[in-house]
Structures are given as structure tokens and as C-alpha cells.
Structure 1
């Protein structure tokens, strides 16, 4: 099973130096984690089980040294520990993949929430070619680290061994098709040649000159740089478009202000709604009243009106006659006249 290493990169020298220091520091400090190891992950009868469990715990202890995902990513921590786990397989007989599956199961176990977030998807069995290139690069790093640390004094022999290891890589991989490996070699060449002891100091005459990159490497890096430049230009164009839209925002804000002024607020709606409903109710009532005569109720009202009209006409006739007979007595009999007025008003 080949790993999905397309998104992974090789450690730079500085990343390697930091990561190996962390790993060496925790390598023998995992005894406190043994009781927490999920026993169901590795069967009891597995060959070399204790060694595999120890490497699982080293994986956890190493990742616990990184506070958060950004810290881990900035040091390329997942790629380094993945390489180290693959390196442990050299002490086992083949096949190696079933053993490595124990590491995958462990890091993705529910008891390891923190380290799952850091590297859960990045622990994979490495293809042979990928592993060998990484090992050779890191061997050169280690030789230079011993020389630069000056732990045993200035040992130009270590620097020379590093130069030879580098040149062997360039000779062996003369037709490189790995852009990230090319970049790692180029960056390390710059670090090595920038060291004063090597470039101008006492080791200058004792060290083998580093070979130049193969043409294929230069072409890969140029193509990669062109792609990065193109992406940067697109980003700048997008930023310019966003900025120009931001400058036009005052007009948009003015339009929004006008729209808000013309729009009806909830308060005004609340104030006018009762009036509107009252007016609508009055209008509806008037319309219904105008059509009442076409209903049975309207017919009944007409009959009642006609009856009242007949009574009123009869009363008016009687009143007229009484007025004729009593006109001569109005001045003499005012009490009767009041009665007559009261009666005619009915």
C-alpha cells in the first residue's frame, strides 16, 4: 500500500534538526503511557508486540510536544514522525504493512483525540522510493548537524562526509521528477555553502565541492515557481477587485439609506394598521347596506316601512282635520293645543 504523500514535503534542515531533537528527548520517556494503551489494538500473541507498543507510545509522546496544529505544521512534524515509524519496520521481517497498520489503528483510536487532529490522516506506509530518498537526505542532514553543532570541536571530516553524501544523491537521482525533493536539495546546498567554516574558514580546502543540480531539477523548480507566481498574480487581481468593490460601497450605502427611508417601518405599520382596518370595515358595511334591499331582510324592511308610512299618512289626515276644527279655540284652550302638538308628533 503506497502512502498518499502528494501533499507532504521533506523536512528542511532546520525542521529536521528540531524534530529529531524532540524525538530523542521523548524516546525513552514513554513508560507513563503504557497503562493507557488500548490492548485490543494489538493481539497479545503478536510477534515483538512490546516493541510495537513502545513505538505507538513514542508517536503519541512526540505529538504531545506540539501545542496545536499550526505549531505542528510549521515544523512538518507529521512527515518526520511518519518517516520514523516506517524506519522501525526495518527490524521486522516482511511483510511490513500489517505491522504499520497497528500504528494507524492506534493514532486513530478514540482515546487519542488530540493526536488524531494533528496527524491522523498523515500516518501512512511509505513507498520504497519515497522512503529511500528521505533516508539519504536525512543522513546528509545528520552529518551536517554534527559538524555545525561543534559538539566534538570543529571536525571538518564530518562536513566532508556530508558533502559526499549530498553528491551521491545528486549522482544517483540525475533524472529527478520529484519537485519537493529537488527543492529540499537546493535549500540544503544553500545552507551548507553559507557556513563560514566551509566557505571561507579552515575547512574550505578539506571539503569536496557540492555538485550542481541536474537540469531536470532546475526545470521542475522553474515550472513550480511559475505556477506559484501565477497563483500570486491571481490573488492580487482578486484583492484588487475586492478593494474596488469596497470603494464603491458608499454609493451602495447611499442607495440602501434611500431605500430604508422609503420603506415603511414596523412602528408606522403598527400605527396605521388599526385605521386601515377601521376604514375597510366601514366601507364594507356601507356596501352591504347598499345591497340589503335585495335580500329577504331587505324585503321585510320595505314592508315594515310601507306599513309605517300608511299609518303616518292617516295620522297626518286626522291631524289636519283636527287643526281645522280647533283653530278657533287655539287662543282659548292652550292645554288642548299642547295635546294636539304632542299627538301630531307621534
Structure 2
């Protein structure tokens, strides 16, 4: 679980660099497919049949690796390989009845490629399968930073900034921040929080596109603090009662305090009544009241028997009339 969380954090960590990676990728991917297309047709031998859908992504992978291989200054910049991984995951998931996930697809190309040497190891560590939720969150972060970069680029002295991009950033952020109210993906939310700080600082500094409604906020007060307090209080409760007060929230502590008082009162009442019954006049008074009450009950039982006997004949005489009345009422309501 810990390794999985680290992997998710790693996937988000360079998303702000992806727009730059895409610009470079789009530039060199427009070059001729050349020999790479033939190499991909050798790898996916049924290229005229079901494997034809894999030729295009295969060519792009080879071009990308070739570009990185020739630019040694990029070897240490993991965002380029992470962007390749993100793009490859998106493409593989868009193929109907896909036979390969991203990692298997990359491995097949690496092991079966027979052309001039390419250093596939450059991106080997970054090619991993990404689930749909993480891919969507990366897409959100990509769109945020792409529009934010366009907004910053338009903030040139002597020109009017393009507020369309700042407004678009605010809209995307507000639509995405709702998931952070439920602690759904804390890694994603931490990146959103960082973006919020960068964006707010920019619109205040630039000022031309500043709008009160576009100042971004982060939902980190009420729900998260109560959740953490409750969780810490539970851990303290398992370790010892004396630690509860310092960790649990005031509301939970008050409720627990009330429960303890109620239990103590329930235990004390029978004990107090027993003492009063044995050693005070309260016992004799209670006994006399009980005997009087029992006498009344016996009298009422005898009275009920007499009434029941007297009414039994009357009930038999009116039984047929009662049946008729019930049937009639039912028909009238129908």
C-alpha cells in the first residue's frame, strides 16, 4: 500500500512539466516515420490485420526514445519519460479490445526491436500501468498548467494579458477541488493546493485579470480537521484512557463523558434505593403502598370478570349486526 501511494505521488509530481514535454513531442513527431514504421511492422507482424492499430503508437514510442537518446541533457529529466508513460497509457486505453497494457506494449517493442541501437533503458523505470482515476487526475493537472502557462505567457509588459486562460484555470480548479472534501486522493489534492498558491500569487501580481470570484480556495478546515481528530482519538483510546482528552475532538469527548455519567447513575440508583429500603422509613412506606396497590388490582380483576359475564349474552345478540355494519362500511369506502 505504501509503495502504491508513493507511485501515485510520483505520477503527479511532474504533471506541471507535461505541457512543455508535449510541445517538444509534437515537434519531433511530425518528422518522417522513415525506418521506424518498417521496424514496427516487423514487431507487429499482422500489421495488415488486427495489429495495424499498434503501428502508429509503436512509431511514436520509437521516435520519442530516439529523441531522448540523442539529447543527453534530457536523460536525467524524468518528466519526459513520465509524459511518454502517460501518453502511452491513454492511447492503449482508447483501443477497443486492446491486447496490451502499456507496460507489456513497451516491453514487446523493446525486446523485438531489431534496428539501429536505441537506449530503451532511459524510460524503462517510468513505464507503468496507470489506472483510470489517476489518468484523469493527471489530465486535470495537465490542463490546469497548460492554460496557466498560456496565461503567464500573455502577461508581457506593454500588452493586455489574455484573461480567458486565467478564467479557464479557475473553472477547471473549482470543478476538480470537490474531490478534496472527502480526502479521496490526497496526493492529487496536494498538487491542486500548490497550483492554487501559484495561481493566486500570479493574478494578484499581474492584477489585470484579477476577479474576486477567481481567487482560489482550498477546503482544508472543517471536514479534514474533524476526520483527523477522530482518527487520532481512536488510536489513543486503544492505547489508554488517560490519553483521550488530549487527542480526540471536543464533540466526541463530550459525548463519551455523557455516556460515562449515565452508566454511573444507572449503577448508583439501585444501590441507593436498597439502602433506603433497609435502613430508613422509606421501606415501610413503600411496602404499605404496594399492598394497597395490590388490593386495588385484585378488586379490578373481580369487577372485570363480572362485567365480562354480563356482556357475553349481549355480544352474541349483536354479532350479526356488527358483521353487516363492517361489510357495509367497506363497500361504501370502495
TM-score (norm 2): 0.53
- Structure 1 position 77 matched with structure 2 position 80: yes
TM-aligned CA distance change 1:143 to 1:127, over 3 Å: same
Give the deviation of 1:118 after TM superposition.
0.9
Give the deviation of 1:162 after TM superposition.
0.9
TM-aligned CA distance change 1:216 to 1:180, over 3 Å: farther
1:244-263 to 2 correspondences below 5 Å: none
Give the deviation of 1:31 after TM superposition.
1.2
TM-aligned CA distance change 1:188 to 1:6, over 3 Å: closer
SS in 1 for 2:21: helix
- Aligned match of 1:182: 189
SS in 1 for 2:176: helix
Distance in 2 (CA, whole Å) between partners of 1:174 and 1:96 is 37
User: Does the 8 Å CA contact 1:23/1:62 hold for their aligned counterparts?
Assistant: yes
- Aligned match of 1:158: 165
User: Does the 8 Å CA contact 1:69/1:118 hold for their aligned counterparts?
Assistant: no
- Aligned match of 2:207: 201
Give the deviation of 1:29 after TM superposition.
1.8
- Structure 1 position 147 matched with structure 2 position 154: no
Distance in 2 (CA, whole Å) between partners of 1:48 and 1:145 is 40
Distance in 1 (CA, whole Å) between partners of 2:9 and 2:146 is 24
SS in 2 for 1:202: coil
- Per-residue CA shift, 1:212-266, capped at 9, x if unaligned? 15469989xxxxxxxxxxxxxxxxxxxxxxxxxxxxxxxxxxxxxxxxxxxxxxx
Give the deviation of 1:189 after TM superposition.
2.1
TM-aligned CA distance change 1:28 to 1:218, over 3 Å: farther
- Aligned match of 1:29: 31
User: Does the 8 Å CA contact 2:183/2:224 hold for their aligned counterparts?
Assistant: no
Count of residues paired in the alignment: 218
SS in 1 for 2:90: helix
29-38 or 166-175, larger mean C-alpha shift = 29-38
TM-aligned CA distance change 1:77 to 1:90, over 3 Å: same
TM-score (norm 1): 0.52
Distance in 1 (CA, whole Å) between partners of 2:222 and 2:124 is 34
User: Does the 8 Å CA contact 1:144/1:162 hold for their aligned counterparts?
Assistant: yes
Distance in 2 (CA, whole Å) between partners of 1:60 and 1:165 is 34
- Structure 1 position 138 matched with structure 2 position 145: no
Query: RCO higher in 1 or 2 (8 Å CA, sep ≥ 6)?
Result: 1
Distance in 2 (CA, whole Å) between partners of 1:202 and 1:95 is 48
Distance in 1 (CA, whole Å) between partners of 2:8 and 2:15 is 20
Give the deviation of 1:208 after TM superposition.
1.7
Runs of at least 5 residues in structure 1 that lack an aligned partner in the other structure: 220-346
User: Does the 8 Å CA contact 1:78/1:119 hold for their aligned counterparts?
Assistant: yes
- Structure 2 residue aligned with 1:102, among 102, 105, 108? 105
Give the deviation of 1:51 after TM superposition.
4.7
- Structure 1 residue aligned with 2:90, among 87, 92, 99? 87
TM-aligned CA distance change 1:182 to 1:33, over 3 Å: farther
Give the deviation of 1:96 after TM superposition.
6.2
- Aligned match of 2:59: 57
TM-aligned CA distance change 1:179 to 1:206, over 3 Å: closer
Q: Which has the higher helix share?
A: 2
1:304-319 to 2 correspondences below 5 Å: none
- Aligned match of 2:257: none
